[in-house]
C-alpha cells in the first residue's frame, strides 16, 4: 500500500456514517462530564423556568392532570401545601383545575425528580454543575423512605422536616459545600463503586463519603451543633441521602450530548406512575412514551403482587446513563433486595455493554477486573439487539399513602425505543431529501 494510493471512499452508507460520527461526538461529551456539587439552593432560584405557582414531577410530562397517576397527583398536592399555594388538598385540586397551579416534568427544566418527588419553588435542591461545560442539574434533598413527600405523602411530620430542610439544613449544606469549593462527584462516585454501591438504590458508602466531606465544610462554616447533629443523624439513618447526586450527574452527562443531529443516544428517561418516556439526542425535547411497566421484584412480607403498580421516578435515567443496575456486580449487599445473584448481576452488565456507546474511564467495578461502566444507551442498538436497559427500582404502592412495598427490576417499554428510532429515521430522511 503506497502513500500515493488514491483515496478510497468508505463503503458505509452515508447516513450510517453520519450517525456513527454523531454518536461518537455524543459519547465523547458524555464521558467528559465533570459533575461537581456546588450548592443547595431554593428550586425557584436556580431551576430555569420554574414558576412560583408550578410543581415539577417525574417525566414524562402529561398533557392533562387526569393523565398523571394518583401517586404523582398526591405528591403535587403535598408540594402545593408545603409551598403555601393552597391551604387544603381540596383547594390545591381546585387551583390545579383552574390553572392557578401548573405542573411540568422536571427533566424538561434541567432537573430530576426521583420517586414520586415533587419540586415547588421554595424546595431546596442540590445544584450540580458540569465543570466541562457549565451546565447545571438539580434534585431535591432526599428525605428517606418512611413517610415522606418523595413517596407522595404529606402530613405534619413531613412538613416539619421539609421546613427544616428549607430553613436550616439547606442553607447549612450550601455554606459547607461552598466553603469546600464544591465537591468533586466524579471522584466520590468512583470511590463509592469500590465500596459496594451501585449508585441508584445503594448509596450507603457514597452517603458516608459525603458526610465525611460535609464534616469538613461544617467545620469551616461554624454550622450550629444542633443542625450538624440532625444532619449527621439523617445521613446515618438514610443511606440514600446521596441519591440526588447520581441522578443529577446522569442528567448532566447526558445533557452534554443532547441535540446532536443524527445521534441515537438516549438522553432522557423517566416514568410517572402511568407513562414511561425516553428522549434521544438527535430529537431534543421530544418524549417517546408508552404505558409504564410494573417492576418485578421482592416485596416486603405484608404485600402481594397485586400491590405493585407502574414504575415511577426520574431515576430510571441512572441506568440509562450507565450506573445502578447496569453495575449491579459492584453492590452484592443490594442483591437480595431485588432477588439477584452474581450471575444475574453480571448478565445485566454484559447486556448493557451490547447497547452502550462507551465505557467510563473512572466509574469502574473492581470485581469485573476494574472494567469501566457501559455508558450511554444507543436506541438503535436496543432495536438491533432486543436488549433494553434494566433498572433497579424502589416499588411504591400505587395508592397514595401506602409507601414502599419492595424493590424490583424493570425496563422501559420497547415501544419507546421503536418510536424513537422511527422518528430518527424520519428526521434523517427529511434531512437527506431537503
3-class secondary-structure state, position 374: strand
**Closest separation in Å from C-beta 279 to a copy of itself:** 35
Interface stretch with a copy of itself, choices 30-38, 129-137, 363-371, 385-393 (CB under 8 A): 363-371
The three-state DSSP-derived secondary structure of 72-104 is HHHHHHHHHHHHCCCCCHHHHHHHHHCCCCEEE
> Nine-digit cell at 67?
393523565
Q: Rule CB under 8 A: choose which of 291, 336, 361, 386 binds a copy of itself.
A: 336
Residue 408: beta bridge partners? Answer: 297, 393
Binding of residue 350 to a copy of itself (CB under 8 A): no
Q: Rule CB under 8 A: choose which of 66, 301, 302, 370 binds a copy of itself.
A: 370
Residues 158-197 that bind a copy of itself (CB under 8 A): 191, 194-197
CB neighbour list of residue 24: distance below 8 Å, 6 or more residues apart: none
**Closest separation in Å from C-beta 190 to a copy of itself:** 11
Binding flags for a copy of itself, 214-243, as an x/- string (CB under 8 A): -xx-xxx-x--x--xx--xx-xx-------
**Closest separation in Å from C-beta 286 to a copy of itself:** 41
Task: Indicate the residue among 279 and 364 with the shorter CB distance to a copy of itself.
Answer: 364
Binding of residue 211 to a copy of itself (CB under 8 A): yes
Task: Indicate the residue among 236 and 350 with the shorter CB distance to a copy of itself.
Answer: 236
Binding flags for a copy of itself, 392-421, as an x/- string (CB under 8 A): ------------------------------
Interface stretch with a copy of itself, choices 27-35, 240-248, 328-336, 422-430 (CB under 8 A): 328-336
Compute CA distances 336 → 190, 237, 269, whole Å. Answer: 23, 20, 26
**Closest separation in Å from C-beta 393 to a copy of itself:** 20
Binding of residue 131 to a copy of itself (CB under 8 A): no
Q: Rule CB under 8 A: choose which of 25, 367, 423, 427 binds a copy of itself.
A: 367
Task: Specify whether the CB–CB gap between 10 and 17 falls below 8 A.
Answer: yes
Task: Indicate the residue among 74 and 223 with the shorter CB distance to a copy of itself.
Answer: 223
**Closest separation in Å from C-beta 148 to a copy of itself:** 22
DSSP characters over 382-395? HHHH-----EEEEE
- Which residue's C-alpha cell is 416486603? 300
Binding flags for a copy of itself, 190-209, as an x/- string (CB under 8 A): -x--xxxx------xx--xx
3-class secondary-structure state, position 228: helix
Complete edge-to-edge strand list for the sheet that includes strand 275-280: 288-291, 275-280, 266-272, 312-313
Task: Indicate the residue among 45 and 362 with the shorter CB distance to a copy of itself.
Answer: 362
Q: Dihedral sign for Cα 137, 70, 198, 147, please.
A: positive
Task: Specify whether the CB–CB gap between 149 and 117 falls below 8 A.
Answer: yes
CB neighbour list of residue 205: distance below 8 Å, 6 or more residues apart: 191, 192, 195, 196, 197
Task: Indicate the residue among 49 and 366 with the shorter CB distance to a copy of itself.
Answer: 366
Write down the H helix ranges in 1-155: 14-32, 43-46, 70-83, 89-97
Binding of residue 333 to a copy of itself (CB under 8 A): yes
Q: Dihedral sign for Cα 287, 293, 298, 304, please.
A: positive
Task: Indicate the residue among 8 and 225 with the shorter CB distance to a copy of itself.
Answer: 225
**Closest separation in Å from C-beta 192 to a copy of itself:** 9
**Closest separation in Å from C-beta 327 to a copy of itself:** 13
Task: Indicate the residue among 214 and 395 with the shorter CB distance to a copy of itself.
Answer: 214
The closest alpha carbon to 423, from 380, 389, 376, belongs to 380
**Closest separation in Å from C-beta 392 to a copy of itself:** 15
Task: Indicate the residue among 50 and 176 with the shorter CB distance to a copy of itself.
Answer: 176
Strands 356-365 and 296-299: unpaired
- Give the separation between CA 357 and CA 379, rounded to whole angstroms: 10
Task: Indicate the residue among 208 and 411 with the shorter CB distance to a copy of itself.
Answer: 208
The closest alpha carbon to 278, from 389, 394, 163, belongs to 389
- Give the separation between CA 400 and CA 398, rounded to whole angstroms: 6
> Nine-digit cell at 136?
447545571
Q: Rule CB under 8 A: choose which of 342, 385, 426, 429 binds a copy of itself.
A: 342
The binding site for a copy of itself (CB under 8 A) comprises 191, 194-197, 204-205, 208-209, 211-212, 215-216, 218-220, 222, 225, 228-229, 232-233, 235-236, 332-333, 335-336, 342, 366-367, 370
Amino acid at each position: 500500500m503506497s502513500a500515493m494510493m488514491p483515496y478510497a471512499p468508505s463503503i458505509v452508507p452515508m447516513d450510517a456514517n453520519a450517525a456513527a460520527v454523531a454518536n461518537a461526538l455524543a459519547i465523547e461529551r458524555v464521558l467528559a462530564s465533570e459533575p461537581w456539587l456546588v450548592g443547595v439552593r431554593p428550586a425557584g432560584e436556580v431551576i430555569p423556568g420554574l414558576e412560583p405557582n408550578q410543581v415539577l414531577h417525574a417525566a414524562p410530562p402529561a398533557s392533562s392532570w387526569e393523565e398523571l397517576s394518583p401517586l404523582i397527583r398526591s405528591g403535587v398536592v403535598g408540594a402545593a401545601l408545603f409551598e403555601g399555594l393552597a391551604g387544603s388538598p381540596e383547594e390545591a385540586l381546585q387551583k390545579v383545575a383552574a390553572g392557578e397551579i401548573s405542573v411540568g416534568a422536571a427533566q424538561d427544566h434541567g432537573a430530576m425528580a426521583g420517586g414520586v418527588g415533587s419540586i415547588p419553588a421554595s424546595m431546596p435542591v442540590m445544584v450540580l454543575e458540569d465543570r466541562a461545560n457549565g451546565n447545571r442539574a438539580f434534585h431535591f434533598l432526599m428525605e428517606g423512605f418512611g413517610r415522606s413527600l418523595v413517596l407522595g405523602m404529606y402530613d405534619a411530620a413531613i412538613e416539619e422536616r421539609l421546613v427544616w430542610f428549607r430553613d436550616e439544613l439547606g442553607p447549612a449544606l450550601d455554606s459547607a459545600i461552598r466553603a469546600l469549593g464544591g465537591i468533586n462527584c466524579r471522584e466520590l462516585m468512583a470511590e463509592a463503586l469500590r465500596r459496594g454501591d451501585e449508585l441508584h438504590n445503594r448509596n450507603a458508602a457514597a452517603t458516608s463519603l459525603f458526610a465525611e466531606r460535609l464534616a469538613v465544610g461544617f467545620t469551616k462554616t461554624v454550622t450550629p451543633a444542633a443542625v450538624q447533629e440532625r444532619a449527621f443523624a439523617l445521613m446515618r439513618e438514610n443511606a440514600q441521602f446521596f441519591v440526588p447526586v447520581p441522578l443529577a450527574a446522569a442528567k448532566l452527562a447526558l445533557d452534554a450530548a443532547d441535540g446532536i443531529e443524527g445521534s441515537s443516544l438516549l438522553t432522557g428517561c423517566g416514568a410517572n406512575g402511568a407513562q414511561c418516556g425516553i428522549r434521544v439526542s438527535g430529537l431534543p425535547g421530544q418524549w417517546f412514551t408508552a404505558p409504564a411497566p410494573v417492576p418485578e421484584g421482592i416485596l416486603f412480607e405484608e404485600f402481594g403482587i397485586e400491590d405493585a403498580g407502574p414504575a415511577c421516578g426520574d431515576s430510571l435515567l441512572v441506568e440509562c446513563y450507565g450506573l445502578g443496575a447496569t453495575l449491579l456486580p459492584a453492590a452484592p449487599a443490594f442483591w437480595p433486595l431485588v432477588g439477584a445473584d452474581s450471575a444475574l448481576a453480571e448478565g445485566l452488565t454484559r447486556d448493557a455493554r451490547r447497547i452502550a456507546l462507551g465505557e467510563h474511564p473512572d466509574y469502574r467495578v473492581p470485581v469485573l477486573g476494574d472494567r469501566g461502566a457501559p455508558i450511554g444507551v444507543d436506541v438503535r442498538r436496543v432495536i438491533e439487539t432486543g436488549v433494553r436497559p434494566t433498572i433497579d427500582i424502589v416499588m411504591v404502592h400505587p395508592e397514595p399513602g401506602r409507601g414502599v412495598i419492595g424493590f424490583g427490576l424493570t425496563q422501559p417499554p420497547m415501544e419507546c425505543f421503536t418510536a424513537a428510532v422511527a422518528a430518527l429515521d424520519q428526521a434523517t430522511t427529511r434531512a437527506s431529501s431537503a
